Structure 1
Amino acid sequence: MIRGIVAGLAAGGLWGLVFVAPRMAAGFSPVDLTAGRFLAYGLVALAALLAGAGTRRLPTFHQACAAAGMSLPGFTGYYLLLVLAIRDAGTEVPALVIGTIPLWVMLLGKPGDLRWRALAPGVALTATGLALMMAAPASGQAGAHFLRGVALAIASLACWTAFALLNSAWLKRHPQVSLTDWANWLGVATGLGALGLWLAAGSAPAALLAQPGLGRFALLCAATGFGSAWLATILWNMASRRLPASLCGQLIVSETLFALLYSFAWDGRWPTQAQAAACVLFTLGILASVKAHR
């Protein structure tokens, strides 16, 4: 169990990195950062497929189309919207908005025997925490661009929530497809989509190479592509295999908490009292929602 908890927390730490990466590569466009991250993910997935060429299945036409279709909301679209949201609203509020994904997935996929009354405390705590964080944005974030960032974060949330529900339903309808094969097919599809995104709207190669901080940008793309996408998925699968589903649900909260920790560390400041209270309320809300599903 200890190994499972450590693996789950490590996955959360890697996922949290994607929230501060756009600020660490502030001179690069959201398109370049999104494309760079998922090109790295696609290359890792392709290498994994080639390494197991004798044992890995290739997708059928319909399976390839499903992977391509779900890679757009689940990876490229989700992260591009998130990077834009962080550009406009900073890290803290988008991190909390995205952190409600487990709650929305639970609400939309609610078991028939679970009463709405049982979910009310968690929903109320989470909503209060979000409202408190958005009512006290960091200096320089207030204004129309901040509200636009919140809207983009909500759109990003909608993309990944839709992906989570569609992905779960697809896997249940196709039990013959292994989880490893599906993850690699999604990775290759995401990498191809990222390449198309960069060719259509990314910076010209000469401009990209001349950009200051190119080394940091490349390192962040590798860290978020290899680490936050491919490796984090492996760690999360390890946690899911070793731990009860209810405990895994609680560990998802670590993604948001790591994102906030990285953000405050990057800024070199402590959270305000309102922000700290919002984090506590948000965490309690998610845990209350998970408890209601036990």
Structure 2
Amino acid sequence: MLNRRDFLRTALVGAAGVAVGAAGMKEIPHLFGWDRPPVAGGYAAAADVLDAVHHPGVAVRYYVETTEPVVAFTFDDGPAPHWTPQVLDVLDEADVPATFFMVGSNLAKNADVVRGRMDRHEIGNHTWEHDDLATLDLAGVTESLKRTEDEIHKQFHRPVTLLRPPFGHIGGSTMLAADSMGYDVVLWSKAMRELMFKGDPEGQARDIIDSVRPGSILLAHDEGDERRLVTIRGLSMMFEGLRARGFRMVTVSEMIAGAKKQSAS
């Protein structure tokens, strides 16, 4: 005999099945209103919450517009005990700074992995648990970012000014939260293609060396599975090859500041 909860679950599944058969899978979001986020509240809202706006605008950067031959390496999802120390070792050996977009829960668990090793590097906010911010309302986004920011302050005693939304997904609530917290949003202009160059770190390195342009922001990871190793093993070659092309490696904020100075002169 079905209880009330089981009955409702069965009814919903049955209704969804009927809807799929009648309307087709592509029509389901429209049928249930999932393609029509609310004007006020919800994950898509932004401009209607004017009391939350503190700045004239939030910058969203895929790259930095500059003629100076600089490039920023960024690493997402750590810190993690497996890959982060390897990345830091290569960066130290090559005297290269980078920007690490840290997941707050990973930092809380693995702070010892990066303690005393981040002085040359920049730290950005990558949410508490790699949350898809484009699916959260303003309260949810703010909670995730604030919790991560607090953990970064606790471990490093430094301000946080950059946000990278996981998957590059941005909703209006993300922009409002970024504005209220004083963040700029940083995406990327070039990502490591680890599946394409599986087992070929030299190929991965050459892909980066040949494609970088002044102001490029490169996406890599210091957490994940074995495929990440092709990037880590190719980092030294990337640095060497980019320097041979006349490039200098900087943090994202250093690149932004340099571009602003260049524009003002």
TM-score, scaled relative to structure 1: 0.24
Going by fraction, where is strand more abundant, 1 or 2? 2
From the CA coordinates, give the structure whose radius of gyration is larger.
2
Structure with a larger share of its residues in helix: 1
- The structure, 1 or 2, with the larger RCO (C-alpha pairs under 8 Å, 6+ apart) is 1
